[in-house]
Structure 1
Amino acid sequence: MDSDRFQRGQATLSSIHGHIGEGVMKALGDIAPEFARFIIEFPYGDIYARGILSPRERQIATISSLVTLGHSPKELRAHIQGGLNVGCSRQDIVEVIMQMAVYAGFPAAVNALLVAKEVFAELDERGQQAAETGRP
């Protein structure tokens, strides 16, 4: 195992997805630990860490791609959250998804908008709970 790639990948994954990324990797570790390592090393250690595109630009590209695929709601959910974490606004994300209707079709865009709506509602609910309890 290339420890530099792995450590760079872990740092990049954490900077985009926070603790959510760790949970996904742990879940995969139970069934396919090598695959979890591949995800950390290749996409996050090699590609995302290149520094040519900003994290925000990479999340926009990833959200666009996932919308176009049309069959990855869990990944789309994670990358919508990741986009928010790296500076995308909700409006940015909605606009990117709407743009994909031109290329992926309305069903793919509608499904993605509904995923975004769920993510936004969950964040609003957590924010309301944090405001009420004084805890995040």
Structure 2
Amino acid sequence: MTNTQQSPSNTSNDNLRYERGLARLREIDGEGGVKVVESLADIAPDFARLVIEFPFGDIYSRPGLDLRSREIAVVAALTAMGNAAPQLKVHIQGALNVGVTRTEIVETIMQMAVYAGFPAALNGLTAAREVFARAEVATRATATVTATA
């Protein structure tokens, strides 16, 4: 059996995981998250599917934490890693999408200076600044369209 083939007994369960994960991904990241996964389709379609099934279909769908808490944890972890700026930006936007405030995001990133060092926190704040700036541009564009409609 090749990597892209599924055993018949897992197909139904895998499809449920995928659908649940895709719904959760859209809830958190909107179409931006889906575009990230789609960008993997030509090079690693199995990995793209795993990104939806495992983190979003299995972990993010668990009942123990709400999405706000999960996104705060992810922002902290990615900041602490110090080498995941693209993923950090996606999750900062996801945090905003699920109701985490800018202040909470900034405080989470600043907290990482204690545990991951100032360079990691500075990189995280730079990522946050970029995401916040994009959000402001998008908000202004929406307001302009609404005002002219």
Common topology (TM > 0.5)? yes
TMscore range, shorter length: over 0.9
Partners of 2:18 and 2:144 lie apart in 1 by 39
**Matches of 1:94 and 1:30, distance apart in 2:** 35
More helix by share: 1
Code of the aligned partner of 2:139: G
1:45 and 2:57 correspond: yes
In structure 2, the gaps of 5 or more residues are 1-10
Q: Aligned to 1:105, which of 117, 132, 139?
A: 117
Aligned position for 1:14: 26
Q: How far has the Cα of 1:30 moved from its partner?
A: 1.4
Query: Could you tell me which of 26, 46, 63 is aligned with 1:34?
Result: 46
RMSD: 1.0
So what's the TM-score if we normalise by structure 2? Answer: 0.88
Unpaired runs of 5+ residues, structure 1, are none
Where does 1:52-71 land on structure 2 (aligned, <5 Å)? 52-71=64-83
Kindly report structure 1 stretches of 4+ aligned residues shifted beyond 6 Å.
Answer: none
Q: CA deviation at 1:3?
A: 0.6
- Supply the distance in 2 between the matched residues of 1:29 and 1:14 (Cα, whole angstroms): 17
How many residues are paired up? 135
Give the TM-score normalised by the residue count of structure 1.
0.96
